[in-house]
Structure 1
Amino acid sequence: MKKNTSGPRFKALLEAANITTTGFAEFLDTAPQNVHNWYSRGVPAHCMEEVARKLSVNSDWLKTGEGLKDARHLRLLDDSGNTFDAQAIRGVYTVVEPIDIELPFYKEVITAPGSNKTHVIEDREQCLRLPRSHLDFLEINHTDAIGAAMIGNSMAEKIDDGSTLAIDRGLTQIVDGEIYAIEHDGMLRIKYLHRLPGNSLRLRSHNRADYPDEIFRPAQIEEQNIRVLGWVFWWSTLNKRRPPLPFL
């Protein structure tokens, strides 16, 4: 088990944010002496996650000094989608409610160098920001939403190659004719889905001229590791060219 050496880092974070010992203690509803003791003894294990969240840092980094300090990629949200930042207002922390929600981004990558096998994982180098109002309007839990990219032209002219997508992982039940993201034996695919008798599944592309329907029986769904990641509720498409100006 890694040693808890969080004391000096905890103290430095408060000093950098100009937060007093008393002010932080009031925010945590504890005695100032307890917070002061953490400077030398370290933040207690049972408080580590909460303290890290309020300070907007990675709890592992706070505890050991190892790994990434910044916690924004960790999606430290509460149940209502609020994010936390170290705002010092008269020595008391406040919750900052952003207009936008930062969504983790997922992509298809090879499982090992030289392999043709892929899987879908989170890309820690990217994120997607959407207005909070978009998610609230569709009653999407903020922590269920993720971003991804459209690969290929199977959904053109609906969703062009390279478009950014937003996916609701909270809606995996198939509603016929809706667009879903699926993982198909490690491959990220975007398709219209339709339920068929006998628990079969039809995958339909918007570009049906080049991509005919695919039908999978239950045994094939299991054998080919087909699983629904979620409902695609938003996508962006960049215009492929600027319009030429006349008479120039």
Structure 2
Amino acid sequence: MRKNTSGPRFKALLEAANISTTGFAKFWGTEAQNVHNWYTRGVPAYRMEEVSRLLSVNSEWLKTGEGTKEAPSLNQPASNGDSFDAHDPQGAYRFIHPNDIELAFFKETPLSNGSDKTHVIQDPDLSIRLLRAPLDQLEIRPADAICAHMIGNSMAERIEDGSIVAIDRGLTQVVDGEIYAIEHDGMLRIKYLHRMPGNGLRLRSHNSAEYPDEVFRPAQIEEQRIHILGWVFWWSTVSKRRPVVPFL
């Protein structure tokens, strides 16, 4: 495994963009000291992709200094104009038809066999097609859109257990009361998010009777590796039962 030497490059990128340590920390929702630590220790591995995407650089270059600095770009459309492949820092998506787009699936999976620790990664065996029009209407870049499964009944009556959710990784800044996908110490969670004074964060479930609010201070957000994956902009919910038609 290549050593993470991203600290100096991360600092240089902020300086080149005229972004202060305090300004970046405020945008990220963390303490300025944590950002200072990244200058020497490097950007944490679990934040590398999002920081790279935010700063428009190749995550491998940021981590190790190897490869091209520029983020991977879209390939040109095929000659018939119907489909093309494209790559972004966390995987690939494909346009199947001018009106459709195929989105990658992400899932929570153990770090290793027998481990009780998990992380969120792309599932190479799953994908879903959506109409492109809603993404265009919501100004969502196809490269930022991914899908995942809703697990559990914490959002019941709004998003049912087993539903598919679509996530915009381009919107990670918290807008109070909106639904977001987060990675919480390796666990994939879907919650309403609210900002709290002092850069804290409140997680709220739709099924609040069974799942009370959770409030995290900035230090806890860092310690528990709470990472906002993106805004949930679409979900599929299928009725759990077929209605019984009475005899006339």
Give the corresponding residue for 1:172.
172
Partner of 1:199: 199
Aligned 8 A contact 2:140 2:168 in 1: yes
Kept after mapping to 1: 8 A contact 2:118/2:187: yes
Alpha-carbon contact 2:75-2:85 (below 8 Å) kept: no
Query: 1:75, 1:166 → 2: CA distance?
Result: 20
Taking the aligned partners of 2:76 and 2:114, their CA distance within structure 1 comes to 39
Instruction: Read off the aligned partner of 1:229 and give its amino acid letter.
Output: L
Contact 1:83 1:97 in 2 (8 A): no
Q: How many residues align?
A: 170
What is the 5 A alignment of 1:34-183? 54=78, 76=86, 97-183=97-183
Contact 2:75–2:86 (8 Å) recurs in 1: no
Tell me the distance in 2 between the aligned counterparts of 1:76 and 1:174: 28
Larger Rg: 1
TM-score, with structure 1 as normaliser: 0.63
CA contact (8 A) 1:106 1:121 kept: yes
Unmatched 5+ stretches in structure 1: 1-48, 56-71, 85-95
Corresponding residue number in structure 2 for 1:237: 237
Kindly tell me: are residues 183 and 75 of structure 1, through their superposed partners in 2, closer, same or farther at Cα, counting changes over 3 Å? farther
Shift of 1:83: 5.5
Cα distance, 1:241 vs structure 2:
1.3
Question: What secondary structure sits across from 2:121 in the alignment?
Answer: strand
Change (3 A) 1:118 1:101: same
Identity %: 66
Match of 1:225 in 2: 225
Distance 1:53 1:136, change over 3 A: closer
Query: C-alpha separation between the residues in 2 aligned to 1:181 and 1:134?
Result: 19
Q: CA deviation at 1:76?
A: 2.1
CA–CA distance in structure 2, aligned partners of residues 205 and 97 of structure 1: 36
Q: CA RMSD in A?
A: 2.9
Tell me how far 1:247 sits from its aligned partner: 1.4
Q: Mark the CA change 1:131 to 1:247 in structure 2 (over 3 Å): closer, same or farther.
A: same
Q: Supply the distance in 1 between the matched residues of 2:188 and 2:107 (Cα, whole angstroms).
A: 7
Q: TM-score, normalised by structure 2?
A: 0.63
